[in-house]
Structure 1
Amino acid sequence: MASLNVYSALVVLFLTCGATLATKENDQIIIETNCETKMGLPCVLEAFTSIFETGSISNKCCDELVGLGKFCHSALVKRTLENPLFEDLTPATIIAKSIQTWNNFLALIDSPSPSA
């Protein structure tokens, strides 16, 4: 339960405080496309955990993440990496995991669902 609170705090920080630390390019993308309002907090938590820790993401949240759009997804991940709280993370690894996660979600959405 404590780890959920830590993740919640990180996600809130990710969504609110990161703007002052982000590059203008990432900020511009996030602001112009309203990236921070396109996903519900439970799905933001799932996506964050999936990319920055070890976790999985539900089909519902997969749909929300893809609905967010690749530009928003990439900009939010890059902005998070610019935050000093995440300076211990290896950006190349996180970006690769982010791309892999994105591609996996696209494959899930594009694959036909099994018939009942």
Structure 2
Amino acid sequence: MSIIDTIDYSGDCCYKLLQTGYPCHTKYTLYVLLNRPELKHSNWTELFAKSDQIYHECDELTSPGSIEFVAKCTENLGNECGEQVYNKLIHDGRITKPCCQELVKNGLQCHTAMVKSLIRIPEMRNANATELMKKNSLIFNHCLHV
């Protein structure tokens, strides 16, 4: 068993991995292989394949869905409500009743897809993805009862 086989990757870790991008991930894998003495005699082809597998599994785990779906969700929510939802998610702002109704009308799948898309952008690199996904559910549940 290699060191890579022992990694338990979480959603938050996967978001961070995707935010760094595939080229950076590959360069870091190479760096680890070159600098970890216990890996010097390992099969690098297998380790790179496992590294790629981890990257692609993280991509699937955190995928918001098709860009068309996310775009339609964003369009349906509208700019004003989108801003309110963003401010609630990031800054614990306020969402009006009409925006809550619009959010609920769009559905949880749309809301989750938009939040997953937001988390994946590089500007959100320092955000805690796990916490944002929890807040995502809390916001939607709050809006269900408004």
What range is the shorter-chain TM-score in?
Answer: 0.5 to 0.7
Q: Of 73, 76, 83, which residue of structure 2 is paired with 1:35?
A: 73
**Structure 1: which amino acid aligns with 2:96?**
S
- The answer to whether 1:71 aligns with 2:92 is no
Name stretches of at least 5 consecutive residues in structure 2 with no aligned partner.
Answer: 1-58
**Structure 2: which amino acid aligns with 1:93?**
E
State the partner residue of 1:51. Answer: 89
TM-score (norm 1): 0.66
Deviation of the 1:74 alpha carbon: 0.2
Identity within the alignment, %: 25
State the partner residue of 1:26. Answer: 64
**Structure 2: which amino acid aligns with 1:102?**
F
**Structure 2: which amino acid aligns with 1:31?**
E
Contact 2:89 2:135 in 1 (8 A): yes
- The answer to whether 1:85 aligns with 2:123 is yes
Q: How many residues align?
A: 85
**C-alpha distance 32-83 of structure 1, shift in aligned 2 (>3 A):** closer
Deviation of the 1:32 alpha carbon: 3.9
**Structure 1: which amino acid aligns with 2:68?**
I
Name stretches of at least 5 consecutive residues in structure 1 with no aligned partner.
Answer: 1-22, 109-116
Q: In 2, distance between residues paired with 1:45 and 1:76?
A: 12
Look up the SS of the partner of 2:64 in the other structure.
Answer: helix
- The answer to whether 1:99 aligns with 2:116 is no
The higher radius of gyration belongs to: 2
**Structure 2: which amino acid aligns with 1:37?**
E
**Structure 2: which amino acid aligns with 1:62?**
C
**CA displacement 1:59-92 (0-9 Å, x = unmatched):** 0110111111111100110111010100100001
Contact 2:74 2:82 in 1 (8 A): no
Aligned structure 1 segments of 4 or more residues deviating by more than 3 angstroms: none
**Structure 2: which amino acid aligns with 1:96?**
K
